[in-house]
């Protein structure tokens, strides 16, 4: 959080950083708000129902509605975790840093 805030100050960009459980954020977010970037670092474990958090996020239809049309969804996951075909997202790029893979996603043209 500190690094993000320092980078905003350093680059003189305007922004607001929220440190919140992404699923709480999605439940409480207003459709009148939109974001240029949403960053999620979900737990690597599975949910109580056996679903992976990554899959749950990628299939959540509220998430793309919260992004501006040119917005970016940044998602951390394990490099060995495969992601099924996504209807709501397209991968712009991905980067691997040790035990973490970061996907940079934009909204799919198909809605």
pLDDT tops 60 at residue 110 = no
Locate the DSSP E strands across the chain: 35-40, 67-77, 89-97, 100-107
Q: Give the per-residue pLDDT at 73.
A: 93
Q: Give the per-residue pLDDT at 47.
A: 67
Which band of pLDDT confidence, cut at 50, 70 and 90, is reported for residue 108?
Answer: confident
**What is the number of residues in the chain?**
111
Q: Helices (H), strands (E): how many in the chain? A: 4, 4
Question: Which has more confidence, 43 or 100?
Answer: 100
- Report the alpha-carbon distance of residue 11 to residue 21 in Å, rounded: 26
- Report the alpha-carbon distance of residue 97 to residue 54 in Å, rounded: 17
Q: Give the per-residue pLDDT at 11.
A: 87
Prediction pTM value = 0.80
């Amino acid at each position: 959080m500190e690094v993000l805030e320092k980078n905003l100050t350093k680059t003189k960009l305007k922004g607001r950083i929220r440190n919140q459980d992404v699923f709480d954020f999605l439940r409480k977010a207003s459709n009148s708000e939109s974001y240029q970037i949403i960053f999620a670092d979900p737990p690597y474990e599975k949910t109580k129902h056996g679903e992976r958090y990554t899959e749950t996020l990628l299939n959540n239809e509220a998430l793309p509605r919260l992004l501006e049309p040119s917005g970016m969804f940044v998602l951390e996951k394990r490099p060995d975790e495969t992601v099924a075909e996504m209807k709501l997202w397209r991968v712009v790029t991905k980067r691997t840093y040790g035990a973490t893979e970061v996907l940079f996603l934009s909204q799919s043209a198909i809605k």
